[in-house]
């Protein structure tokens, strides 16, 4: 009998964890496992705010995929997925066409600009490791140019961050630490620099404990970060952003750098795949399969799951993506054996939001944490994610140990 082909698209937290779990469960001659990813490395999306601010080097947030897969069981293909058709079971990639018996889609997130004019053109987005490098270099370029130009334009030193959600706040925390270093490096007086966080919603970090949010805002404000809350961005231009401050009241913030961190959607390839979706996210069945396609699993940010307790979707997180991957791997093996699949049950351990290298806020297993304790917990979580994929060797190579 022909061995089934398991095709996994994307080597992010969801896809790579699925493969690492599959290679433990499937014998060499039991299936052909193929992993397709755009790059030959995996990047820690949860560390991209650090690479974007320049507090971590881009190579520190990524590692080789070949180093963590079992090459006798998994064929890795470095290619860009160009199209998915679940009706004909065909996946088009830059390295040719693939077909499958079981498909796992783990192609991750894309920035959501909600149709706001100019954002996709003039704002930068913390989307992947190269986009993070671009943000870091862009900010440095603005500082370097300011310090050399004759008629200095102080707006070069203004950074607008769109979004006071998780990634926006984590990025602001890193900027709070990085700006003083940049000022010293480029001889820029600190008072010339403005970092403004603009948020449409009436609050910072929705869903977080109000006391922890208050702590986070206080800490960031102490580092000179300004907050403009309840003031949606209505337009981005090459000069900055226009925000709405009241019924008929607008303000233009002139800025050399605009980073948009206000919302994510699933990968747009989902929209043409033949699977029903909402903003490229698939409302998956309880066992992580795509509705109507029993041989297709969705993992990570492309999957949408409703938390029945709150009747709201679970937030797209690495924590959930890695947990889903364990269920997806087990369910594929169950299908191969003709057994029933199991339901995915998230085990939410809490959330820690970093505010820079030595500060954070966290709600972990019902305990509220701030400052050094929360920051240590964040590093434990980061190292645990490495351990789950590459074991102790990967933790020793890429782990965070500086307290």
Ligand X SMILES: Cc1cc2nc3c(=O)[nH]c(=O)nc-3n(C[C@H](O)[C@H](O)[C@H](O)COP(=O)(O)OP(=O)(O)OC[C@H]3O[C@@H](n4cnc5c(N)ncnc54)[C@H](O)[C@@H]3O)c2cc1C
Residues at the interface with ligand X (CB under 6 A):
10-15, 36-39, 42, 45-46, 48-49, 80-81, 106-109, 126, 128, 166-167, 170, 267, 269, 300-301, 316-319, 321
Are 150 and 267 in contact by the 8 Å Cβ rule? The answer is no
Burial class (CB in 10 A: 0-12, 13-18, 19+), 72: exposed
Can you read off the two tokens belonging to residue 151?
A: 């008629």
Told to judge if 170 belongs to the known catalytic residues of this protein, a careful annotator would answer yes
CA 171 to CA 126: how far, in whole Å? 9
- Closest CB 14 distance from ligand X, rounded Å: 3
- Closest CB 149 distance from ligand X, rounded Å: 31
Which of 253/304 has CB closer to ligand X?
304
- Closest CB 80 distance from ligand X, rounded Å: 4
Which of 152/358 has CB closer to ligand X?
358
Residue 303, CA atoms < 13 Å, CB-side half-sphere: 33
- Closest CB 123 distance from ligand X, rounded Å: 14
The residues near 102 (Cβ < 8 Å, ≥ 6 apart) are 4, 5, 6, 7, 295, 296, 297, 332, 335, 336
Residue nearest ligand X, Cβ-based: 12
Which of 55/242 has CB closer to ligand X?
55
Which of 152/279 has CB closer to ligand X?
279
Which of 42/156 has CB closer to ligand X?
42
Can you tell me which residue has the tokens 């630490």? Answer: 177
Return the SS3 of 291.
coil
- Closest CB 204 distance from ligand X, rounded Å: 16
CA 401 to CA 119: how far, in whole Å? 37
What are the distances in angstroms from CA 330 to CA 3, 7, 126, 223?
17, 15, 32, 47
User: Which residue out of 170, 174, 199, 357 is catalytically annotated?
Assistant: 170
> What sign does the CA torsion over 326, 332, 336, 339 have?
positive
Q: Which residues are catalytic?
A: 170
């Amino acid at each position: 009998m022909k061995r089934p082909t398991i095709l996994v698209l994307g080597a992010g937290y969801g896809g790579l964890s699925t493969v690492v779990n599959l290679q433990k469960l499937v014998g060499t001659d039991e299936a052909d496992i193929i992993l397709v990813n755009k790059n030959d490395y995996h990047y820690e999306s949860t560390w991209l705010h650090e690479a974007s601010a320049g507090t971590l080097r881009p190579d520190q947030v990524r590692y080789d995929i070949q180093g963590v897969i079992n090459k006798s069981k998994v064929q890795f293909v470095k290619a860009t997925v160009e199209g998915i058709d679940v009706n004909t079971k065909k996946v088009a990639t830059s390295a040719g066409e693939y077909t499958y018996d079981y498909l796992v889609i783990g192609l991750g997130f894309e920035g959501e600009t909600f149709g706001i004019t100019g954002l996709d053109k003039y704002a930068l987005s913390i989307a992947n490791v190269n986009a993070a490098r671009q943000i870091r270099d862009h900010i440095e370029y603005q500082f370097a140019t300011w310090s050399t130009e004759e008629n200095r334009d102080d707006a070069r030193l203004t950074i607008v961050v769109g979004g006071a959600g998780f990634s926006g706040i984590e990025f602001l925390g890193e900027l709070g630490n990085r700006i003083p270093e940049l000022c010293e490096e480029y001889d820029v007086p600190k008072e010339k620099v403005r970092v403004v966080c603009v948020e449409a919603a009436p609050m910072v970090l929705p869903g977080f404990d109000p006391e922890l949010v208050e702590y986070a805002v206080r800490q960031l404000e102490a580092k000179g970060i300004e907050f403009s809350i309840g003031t949606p961005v209505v337009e981005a231009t090459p000069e900055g952003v226009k925000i709405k401050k009241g019924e008929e009241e607008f303000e233009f913030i002139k800025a050399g750098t605009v980073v948009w961190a206000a919302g994510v959607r699933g990968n747009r390839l989902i929209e043409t795949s033949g699977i029903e979706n909402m903003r490229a996210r698939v409302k998956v069945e309880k066992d992580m399969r795509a509705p109507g396609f029993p041989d297709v699993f969705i993992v990570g940010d492309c999957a949408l799951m409703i938390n029945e307790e709150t009747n709201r979707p679970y937030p797209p997180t690495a924590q959930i993506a890695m947990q889903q991957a364990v269920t997806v791997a087990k369910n594929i093996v169950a299908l191969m054996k003709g057994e029933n699949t199991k339901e995915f049950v998230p085990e939410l351990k809490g959330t820690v939001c970093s505010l820079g290298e030595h500060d954070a806020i966290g709600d972990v297993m019902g305990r509220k944490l701030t400052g050094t304790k929360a920051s240590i917990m964040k590093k434990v979580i980061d190292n645990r994610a490495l351990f789950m994929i590459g074991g102790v060797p990967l933790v020793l190579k890429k782990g965070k140990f500086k307290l």
